[in-house]
Structure 1
């Protein structure tokens, strides 16, 4: 518990430090409760468990990472999830962000392009008892149209542009949170709010560094 409290305090401090960029001096109590309740050490390699609650990303294999806790919390908060929402996540990874979403939304649909990562995440969800998560292997640029529309969409890898398919699958009034930029180059975390007649509002939040969103045919 001491490690979790330290992680939460690190998130609070970084939230205050970046408030001039994000416009957020605090994150919602619901998001912070989810960050407290989901055991991050269960989503990393056992050899890295001692670093699981540090406020930084960690490798999870296949050239992928588990995101920094502050970024996970911030992106979740930006979605403004309601308890009745259906959320689409692009990039399951280890499943940590997915598990956070599952504490806040009614249903979470998550796509991962790397089959082994998807299967490993499914095992973790079953072990930890998360029952409102639906996962499959697929190309994130295509989304998951069969389950659309979604109240919110979150992308956990950087795309060079916002995929049209994801905007199409977003409910009017919904939010898409996505890092946009070049692989290992300049990237910005943005929020797209979908409005009628394609009058979408795009807000730039802060600079970030994510692995690239893989586009498989």
Structure 2
């Protein structure tokens, strides 16, 4: 299979027509080998618009990733927390944009693969339950959740820089439509803005009770 051609077709048919316009982000998608981050038995559908199986869950689609990263407004030198980092594709994209990335993953096997795949990138890995974040490395200029969460945990908001930004997909298991939101840090009005409607698997370890509800 010609993965380079599949990658180009993915950008041109899935991402460009759906309001992803940042040139640097598009260039990263054109060049990043997503097939390397996908299980070998699923490599041929690495660039499809379907959520490919990854461990016990499914990863985000290329379009979902593109809209989240664009909403995060990544620039060189920023410090970004990627939650539910899986095997590291999203973290790799963000690092290619010049950010220092902190990748948090609860599945040890996925995290081990991610560490190996991104060993030469500015990416720090931690294997831990996802609901508490990474307080020892806070504050972060940006946070991105690589899957849906029922609500934004209050503890995460405390780890976000006052001028930072958080992007996530908000929804519960069984929801047929979920809101992809962007929310600025406490230096601005912390009012979530819907940037896209979609649906995704809920990340493990998140519960809506006792959390900051959106």
Q: TM-score range by the shorter chain?
A: 0.7 to 0.9
| Cα shift at 1:77 | 0.4
Q: Residue 33 of structure 2 is aligned with which of 4, 16, 39?
A: 39
Q: CA deviation at 1:60?
A: 1.5
Determine the C-alpha separation between the residues in 1 that align with 2:150 and 2:42: 31
The CA distance in 2 between the partners of 1:52 and 1:213, in whole Å, is: 20
Deviation at 1:148, TM superposition (A): 0.8
Deviations 1:96-129 (A, max 9, x none): 1111111113310011111111112112223xx3
Preserved CA contact (<8 Å) 2:15 2:62: no
Give the aligned partner of residue 184 of structure 2.
193
Deviation at 1:94, TM superposition (A): 2.2
The question of whether the paired residues in 2 share the 8 Å contact of 1:84 and 1:105 is answered with: yes
Query: Which string of whole-angstrom CA distances, capped at 9 and with x for unpartnered residues, describes residues 56-111 of structure 1?
Result: 2210222x122111111111000001101000010011211111111113310011
More helix by share: 1
Distance 1:105 1:167 in 2: 23
Aligned to 1:29: 23
Counterpart-to-counterpart distance in 2, 1:54 and 1:183? 23
Q: Which residue of 1 aligns with 2:93?
A: 100
Contact 2:20 2:70 in 1 (8 A): no
Give 1:188 deviation, angstroms. Answer: 1.2
Number of corresponding residues: 203
SS in 1 for 2:124: strand
Shift of 1:187: 2.0
Instruction: Quote the Cα distance in structure 1 between the aligned partners of 2:17 and 2:108.
Output: 34
Which of 107, 111, 118 lines up with 1:114 in the alignment? Answer: 107
1:160-183 CA-partner distances (Å, limit 9, x unpaired):
111111111111121100111111
Q: Can you give the 5+ residue segments of structure 2 that lack an aligned partner in the other structure?
A: 207-214
The equivalent residue for 2:46 is 52
CA offsets 1:137-186 (integer angstroms, 9 cap, x no match): 11222110111111100011221111111111111121100111111314
Q: CA RMSD in A?
A: 1.8
Q: Report the Cα distance in structure 2 between the residues aligned to 1:138 and 1:147, rounded to whole angstroms.
A: 13
Q: Is the 8 A contact 1:154 1:177 kept in 2?
A: yes
> Hey, what does 1:214 align to over in structure 2?
204
Which residue number in structure 2 is paired with residue 19 of structure 1?
Answer: none
Q: Which runs of 4+ in 1 moved over 3 A?
A: none
Partner of 2:210: none
Instruction: Please point out which of 61, 66, 72 is paired with 2:59.
Output: 66
What SS does the aligned partner of 2:77 have? coil
Per the TM alignment, residue 13 of structure 1 is displaced from its structure 2 partner at its CA by: 4.6
Of 177-186 and 163-172, deviating more is: 177-186
For the residue of structure 2 that corresponds to 1:190, the secondary structure is strand
Structure 1 Cα separation of the partners of residues 118 and 16 of structure 2:
30
Can you give the 5+ residue segments of structure 1 that lack an aligned partner in the other structure?
A: 16-24
